[in-house]
Structure 1
Amino acid sequence: MKILTGNDLKTGAVTWWDGSDWSLHVGEAVDVGEDGDAILAREEAARRVNAAYAIDAEMTASGVRPAHIKDRIRGLGPTVRPDLTLKPGDPNAVREVI
């Protein structure tokens, strides 16, 4: 499984390709399969995302999980204090992070 990640051009927030737009929540990422490079080229040309790239991921019982620890931290937040992690279900989470 391949998913796309990058940073929002306006805010710098970590974003994940959800199939039609960029989401702040890794759980909304979709498998791009062979289309990853084409999507990345189109989105970077549209200037909606910065430094986007494809990563390996896997589908688990709790949702999409990036394969590499670096990308898991990008998606879920710090590993040392659970109270600082991103909260995808919390509508105020974006305000807390940005």
Structure 2
Amino acid sequence: MRIITGNDLKTGAVIWWTGRDWSLHVEDAADVGEQGEAILTAEDGARRVNGGYIIDAVETGKGPRPAHIKDRIRALGPTVRPDLTLKPADPASGDWVI
């Protein structure tokens, strides 16, 4: 499985490609397969994402999980204090799609 991540141009937030737009939550990420480069080129050209790149991920019961630790930290937040992580079920977390 391959997914796309990058940063929102306005806020700098980590975002994930859902198959039609961007989300703050890795659980919403869609498998881009071999179309990843084409999607990334189009999204970069439309200036909707900064520093986008394709990563390997593993499908879990809770959605995709980045294969590399660097991207898991980008997806789930700080590794030191679990109370600072982004919780999609938390209404205060800004549960909205970019």
TM range (shorter): over 0.9
1:39 corresponding residue in structure 2: 39
Q: Give aligned-pair identity as a percent.
A: 71
Amino acid aligned to 1:37: E
Q: CA deviation at 1:16?
A: 0.1
The 5 Å alignment of 1:1-98 reads 1-94=1-94
Indicate the SS of the match to 1:47. Answer: coil
Unmatched tracts of structure 1, length 5 or more: none
Query: How many equivalent residue pairs?
Result: 95
Unmatched tracts of structure 2, length 5 or more: none
Q: CA deviation at 1:91?
A: 2.6
C-alpha distance in 1, partners of 2:51/2:73? 17
Computed over aligned residues only, the root mean square deviation of the Cα atoms, in angstroms, reads 1.2
Amino acid aligned to 1:36: G
TM-score under structure 2 normalisation? 0.93
C-alpha distance in 2, partners of 1:94/1:82? 17
- Comparing 59-68 with 5-14, greater Cα deviation is found at 59-68
